[in-house]
Structure 1
Amino acid sequence: MKAAVLYEFDPSLTSPQYVRYEEVPDPRIEKTTDVIVRIGGAGVCRTDLHIVEGIWRDKANVQLPYIMGHENAGWVEEVGSGVEGIKVGDPVICHPLVTSGHCLACRRGDDMHATDSKFPGINTNGGYAEYLLTGARSLIKLPASLTPKDVAPYTDAGLTAYRAAKKASRHLLPGEYAVVIGVGGLGHIGVQVLAALCAAEIIAVDRSDMALGLAKECGAHHLVKSDRTEVDQILALTGGRGAEAVIDFVGEGDAVAKGLAMTRNGGFYYIVGYGGKVEIPTIEMITSEKTIVGNLVGTYPELVELMALADRGLVKLATREYRLEQANEALHDLHHGKVKGRAVLIP
C-alpha cells in the first residue's frame, strides 16, 4: 500500500519534507478482534506537527520510521475471526484508541486511560496510508448521511472538543458566558457543541480573522481579536466578572495566563491545547476558587453522541481536502495557519 512515512524528527519544522510518500507492506490481521479499514479520510492534526518536532518521542515511545494519522474513517476491508456485528464494506469511524476492553478503565468506559492500549498514529502506525489496522471495539458504523472523508477529524479534534464543551455545558446557564480560545480545527467544533448543548453566550477568541469568521458561521455570539487586549475585552463583555467557563484550545504562549484571567471567580478553565504551563499562586487558587480541568480526547460513547449531533446537522466540520501524496503540503499549510477548519488526507 501507499503511505506517508515519518523517518526523522524536525524540531524546528523547517524541512520542506516531513514525510515520504512511498510503498510499504499492507497491515495484516494479527488478533481475532482485529479489523483492517480502507481509509476514506485521515485528519491532519497539530499533534502530528508536535510528533514531527519530537515532542512525543519519550511520551509515546515513538519508534521511527512510522506512519502518523490518528483521525481516521473509512470502510471495513477485512475482519478477524472473532469479530461480530461489523462486516466488510461497512462505513466506519475509528475511535482513536485500540483497547482490549478487559481492564477496569475500559469497563468503566474510560478507554483513554486503559492499562493496555494502542493509539494508531501516536505509538503505532496510523492512517496516513491506504489501510489501517485497528480493533473491532474501536469502530462506530456511520449513518447514511455521513461519509468517511467528511467526518474523519471528529475522532480526535471533534471528540476532544466535544468532551470539553460537554463538561462546560453541564453547568452553563442562560445569561452566562463561555469563552473559546482558539477557534481553528478544534475550536470551531467546540463552538458548535456549546451552541447545541447549552444556552450560554459564546465568545470566540483568535488572532486569525479567518478563524473568527468561521466561529461566527458556527454560532459564536461575540468575536474577540487576540491582540493583547483580549482579557480587557472579555471583562467588558461580561460586566467585569469574567466568563463562567473558558475552554482553551491553544494551551501555549500567553494563552494560559490570559485564559485564567478571563475566568470569573468560581468559574471553570478547561485546558485542551498543550505546550505551555499552568502557573498560578496557591493563594489565588484559594481566594478565586477557580477550577482547572484537563481534557484528553474522549470516550467511545462520546464519539457516538457526537456522530448523533453530526447526523442531525447540529455540528459540521469545515475541511480542506488533500491527496495522500500531498501530506507534506497539508502539514506545512497547517503549520503556517493556512487551513480553514481541518485538513483531511484522502488516499
Structure 2
Amino acid sequence: MKAGRIHAYHEPITIDDIEEPKIDSETDVIVKIGGAGVCRTDLHIVDGIWKDALGNPSLPYTIGHENAGWIEAVGSGVKDLHKGDPVILHPLMSCGICPACRAGQDMHCTHSHFPGLDGTDGGYAEYLKTSVRAVIPLAPGTDPVPLAPFADAGITAYHAVKKLVPLTVPGTFVVVIGIGGLGHFAVQILRALTPATIIAVDTQKQRLQFAEEIGAHYTVLAGADGGVSGVRSVAKDGVNIVLDFVGEYQTPQAAIAMLAKGGTYSVVGYGGSVNVPTLEFVNREINIVGNLVGTYNELAELMELNRQGKVKITATQFPLQDAPRVMQMLDRGEIMGRAVLVP
C-alpha cells in the first residue's frame, strides 16, 4: 500500500510502498483510511521537535494522527464493529487499565501508543492498525472523509473549551488567538457550549472574515502589539479568558496583556515561552492552563455536536500522493481551515 513516511528529520516525507498492516491481537482493528488530517504537529515531527519527548522513535514510520474511514478487519475479541462501518479514531491507543484510563483521562495513559507520532505507523496511508479502544462508530451512511481533523484538532479545541465552561457567564469575554485548524473549531464550540462574547485575533484579514462567518462577535487584526490594543478597545478592562492556538512568537506575552484581573490564559499552541514576572501572577491573580488532546468521550461528544450541525469543519481534500506539497502549503499558511489527505 502507499504511505507517507518520515525517513529523516528536516527532510520532506516520501510516499512509499509498504506492506498492509495485519491483525496481531484480539483487540486489533484495521481501518481503511478515508481521510487523514494534516496537522501542524506533523510539521513539528518532521522538524524533530517531538523527537526527545517521544523517546527518539525509530525511523522510518508513517505519520498522520487525525484519521477516519471504514472498518476493514477486526480481531477475534472485537464484537460490535463490522467491515464497512464508518468510524473516526481517537488518536491514542490506550491500555484501559492504568489509573489515568480508569479515571477517563485516557490521553494521560501511561502505557499508550500514539500512531503517527511515537514511531507507531499512522494514517497517511491506505490502511491503519489501531486498537478497538480508539474506535468511535459514526452513524450509518456517514461520510468519514471530511471528518478526520475532528480526531485531533477538533477534540483538542473541545477539550480546552470544555475546561473553561465553568468560568463563562453572560458578559464573559473570550479571545481566540489564531483562526486556523484548531481555532475555527474553538469559535464554534464556544458558541455551542457557552454564553461568552468571542473576540477572534489573527494576522490575516481573510481568517478574521472566516471567524465572523462561523460565529465570532468581534475580530481584531494582530498588529505590532499582537492585537492587545484592539482587544482592549472592545474590553477596556481586559478579557476573562484567552485561548491561544499559536503559542509562539509574541502571542504568550500579548495574551497576558489582554487579560483582566483574575483572568485565565489557556495555552494550546506551543513552541514559544511564557515569560511573566511572578508578581504579575500574584497581583493580577492570573491563571495559566495547558491543554493536551481530548479524551475518547470528548471526541464522541464532539461528533454529536457535529451531527447536530453545531460544529462544522472547513476542510480541503487532497490526494495522499500530494502529502509533501500539502505540508509545505500548511507551513506557508495557505490552508484555510484544515487539509485532509485521501488515499
Q: Same fold per TM (> 0.5)?
A: yes
* TM-score for the superposition, normalised by structure 2: 0.97
The separation in 2 between residues aligned to 1:84 and 1:108, in whole angstroms, is 24
Task: Note the C-alpha offset of 1:145.
Answer: 6.8
Q: In structure 2, what is the Cα distance between the partners aligned to 1:289 and 1:96?
A: 35
* Other-structure match for 2:7: 7
Uncovered stretches (5+) of structure 2, i.e. residues with no partner:
none
Amino acid at match of 2:315: T
Instruction: Name the counterpart of 1:235.
Output: 232
Partner of 2:167: helix, strand, or coil?
coil
Q: Structure 2 matches for 1:87-236, cutoff 5 A?
A: 87-123=82-118, 124-144=120-140, 146-229=142-225, 230-236=227-233
**1:64 partnered with 2:59:** yes
User: 1:62, CA displacement in angstroms?
Assistant: 2.4
The ranges of structure 1 where at least 4 consecutive aligned residues each deviate by more than 3 angstroms after the TM superposition are none
Partner Cα distance (2:140, 2:194) in 1: 27
Of the three residues 275, 279, 284, the one matched with 2:275 is 279
Q: Percent identity?
A: 50
Alignment match, 2:73:
78
Counterpart for residue 329 of structure 1: 325
Corresponding residue SS for 1:152: helix
Distance 1:217 1:120 in 2: 34
CA distance in 2, matches of 1:34, 1:209: 46
Distance of 2:86 and 2:133 partners within structure 1: 15
- State the shift of 1:144 in Å: 4.1
Distance 1:37 1:267 in 2: 43
- Residue in 1 that maps onto 2:244: 248
CA shift, 1:169, in A, is 2.3
The letter for the 2-side match of 1:164 is: A
User: Normalising by structure 1, what TM-score?
Assistant: 0.96
Once the two structures are overlaid, the 10-residue window that deviates more, 184-193 or 146-155, is: 146-155
Match of 1:50 among 44, 55, 66: 44
Would the aligned equivalents of 1:145 and 1:311 in 2 still touch at CA under 8 Å?
Answer: no
Alpha-carbon separation, structure 2, partners of 1:189 and 1:338: 18
How far residue 184 of structure 1 moved from its aligned partner, in angstroms, is: 0.5
Mapped partners of 2:22, 2:146: distance in 1: 26
Cα distance between partner residues in 2 of 1:264 and 1:174: 16
Unaligned runs of 5+ in 1: none
Contact 2:146 2:317 in 1 (8 A): no
Offset at residue 319 of structure 1 (A)? 0.3
Say if 1:205 and 1:225, in contact at 8 Å, map to a contact too.
yes
Q: Which residue of 2 aligns with 1:310?
A: 306
Measure, in 1, the Cα distance between the counterparts of 2:164 and 2:81.
34
> How far, CA to CA, are the matches of 1:127 and 1:235 in structure 2?
43
Q: Which amino acid aligns with 2:100?
A: A
Cα distance in 2 for partners of 1:167, 1:212 equals 25
Amino acid at match of 2:325: E
